[in-house]
Amino acid sequence: MPAIEDTAKPASSGPAIILVEPQLGENIGMVARAMANFGLSELRLVNPRDGWPSEKARAAASRADHVIDATKVFDDLASAVSDLNFVFATTARERDGFKPVRGPVEAGRALRARAEAGLRTGILFGRERFGLYNDEVGLADEIVTFPVDPGFSSLNIAQAVLLMSYEWMKSGLAEETQTNFSGPELAPATKEQLHSLFAYLEGALEARGYFRPEEKKPKMVDNLRAVLTRAGFAEPELKVLRGIISSLDRFSPAMPRGDGSPGDDPRRLPAAARSRVKDEES
Amino acid sequence: MPAIEDTAKPASSGPAIILVEPQLGENIGMVARAMANFGLSELRLVNPRDGWPSEKARAAASRADHVIDATKVFDDLASAVSDLNFVFATTARERDGFKPVRGPVEAGRALRARAEAGLRTGILFGRERFGLYNDEVGLADEIVTFPVDPGFSSLNIAQAVLLMSYEWMKSGLAEETQTNFSGPELAPATKEQLHSLFAYLEGALEARGYFRPEEKKPKMVDNLRAVLTRAGFAEPELKVLRGIISSLDRFSPAMPRGDGSPGDDPRRLPAAARSRVKDEES
């Protein structure tokens, strides 16, 4: 199929989010915030009940001002989708008709594939109280619905927009398990490193008479090694463990190596120094 | 590993949602609503700032009263997780330490696998303003983080709970593409059915002199058939098309078969009868 020049856009242009007759400015703002979190920026409103611009929307958008500022208002749904090539309608209820029904994961991928082909896409969301009329759903190509509990189906528009924005973002990840940051690479240490810990620990325990009676020592050693093997500790973790054992090895009530006071340990910190680093978000 | 009797629960018991020092009752209510949509019901609060119960929470929960009524309050986080076997902490920021970091899809599956093994799980969410302290993250087994736009990372707790609740529900679906209802089965009709439509349409067009000049008719027929073939119409769709053609075939400005007035068509409906069926949700 030849490229359609008028509608060609940058490759990963996200879907426009189209709210049909939204009622509350707060909800519009929450929609903008949800979009911005997942990289969407094009918000369209069809006949917002309380008019536009809306200070309540801006306040609820929590710094997503770029979305609020670029929001466009239309008199009717047909005008709002006129420049788009492909449109999803969100609905919680089964409709008669010929439209394919997708889940959000599938819909996210369908939108991504069309965006990468240079097509413009959009997603329709209905009114807070009763969603979209059938003739409005009729203006869409396909339906997307969320796998909610049939016993409690009550997503508001900002929640529905959040889920679709999230699936849009996910559809662009190289792998589903990709995250913005990752934990340390914790490959299991080599057996030599592990066995070195065994030797150190078993020596310290031997010195304290842990392996008694003597005939049980082989079984006790087996158990101890099994416990320390199953976790698959990485090298940095083995170092933490060695430090712990080393610290315990220095003091014992019966045979203190210093004067027996914890104050001797230079690594002991006052309680007030406990690290409480703040996080921006949960 | 032997089953641990004290912690055995019904196979698909979902994770407890644990809010650490939540500030606003509205947010707690929105969390309950998000949970209920995706089949979660166990909400725990650690030191809610404005106390509990909260009428604001109940109002914002939008009928998720079963979640609000069963909410438990704890004085400290350790007590809130004491009966759980596995705990995720949500965080938007990278932390030092040995904890594995998961995306929400992977986390949903990890929770499901543990629930099916009879283990109790939970997910920690931090304060509205700054999330979880490091020592609180330390009480969790693993970290989950959301693939938000690094340039606009501002999920509130109800949005974060919504995404994890959604991924919990999804992890229990037989297939990722499963939906609560589906579109009609629209397998392409047989070629006999399609060719029957061609014959009817081409006959009607022939009667009106559409295929002119005569030498272009083969190409025109090719094009017409190509257009009607590519969509892969199903049998019920072919019936709609046949109805349309049949209707057009009855009236034409040049050769009216009735008196030429659209009022002759018994299937014509007054505009007021246009179906506008309400949907519960968008």
Question: Mind listing the pLDDT tens digit for each residue in B49-108?
Answer: 999 999 999 999 999 999 999 999 999 999 999 999 999 999 988 887 788 899 999 999
- ipTM given for this complex: 0.78
For an interface test with B, give the residue of A136, A178, A281 to mutate (most B CBs within 10 A). A281
Report pLDDT for A274: 37
- Find the residue in A nearest to B21 (Cα): A282
Instruction: Select the residue of A64, A145, A163 nearest B181 (Cβ to Cβ).
Output: A145
Put simply, the answer to whether B36 touches A154 (Cβ < 8 Å) is: yes
- Residue B208 and residue B86 share a domain: no
Q: DSSP letters along A20-74, please?
A: ES---HHHHHHHHHHHHHTT---EEEES-TT-SS-HHHHHHTTT-HHHHHT-EEE
List chain B residues with CB under 8 Å of A281.
Answer: 91-93, 126, 130-131, 153-155, 160
- Residue A163 and residue A210 share a domain: no
A179 belongs to a structural domain? no
Q: How many domains does chain B have?
A: 2
Instruction: Select the residue of A33, A38, A153 nearest B37 (Cβ to Cβ).
Output: A153
- Residue A225 and residue A154 share a domain: no
- Residue A162 and residue A198 share a domain: no
Q: How far apart are alpha carbons A265 and B48 in whole angstroms?
A: 39
B281 belongs to a structural domain? no
Provide the token pair at B43: 């909400």
- Residue B167 and residue B196 share a domain: no
A176 belongs to a structural domain? no
| Location of structure tokens 């959301």 | B146
A274 belongs to a structural domain? no
A19 belongs to a structural domain? yes
- Find the residue in A nearest to B31 (Cα): A159
| Location of structure tokens 């949907």 | B279
- Residue A225 and residue A130 share a domain: no
Nearest-Cα distance to chain B for A257, in Å, is 31
- Residue B37 and residue B98 share a domain: yes
- Render pLDDT for B152-186 as a digit per residue (tens, 0 to 9): 988 999 999 999 999 999 999 988 888 888 877 77
- Residue B141 and residue B34 share a domain: yes
Give me the percent of chain B exceeding a pLDDT of 70.
84
- Residue B211 and residue B135 share a domain: no
Put simply, the answer to whether B176 touches A37 (Cβ < 8 Å) is: no
User: How does the average pLDDT of chain A come out, rounded?
Assistant: 85
Report pLDDT for A187: 82
Provide the token pair at A190: 């080599």
Put simply, the answer to whether B170 touches A147 (Cβ < 8 Å) is: yes
- Residue A81 and residue A147 share a domain: yes
Instruction: Select the residue of B152, B234, B281 nearest A92 (Cβ to Cβ).
Output: B281
Provide the residue range defining the domain that includes A230.
Answer: 191-260
A178 belongs to a structural domain? no
B12 belongs to a structural domain? yes
Classify residue B68 as exposed, middle or buried by CB count within 10 Å of its CB (0-12, 13-18, 19+).
buried
Return the number of CB contacts < 8 Å for A and B.
242
- Residue B203 and residue B158 share a domain: no
A119 belongs to a structural domain? yes
Put simply, the answer to whether B177 touches A38 (Cβ < 8 Å) is: no
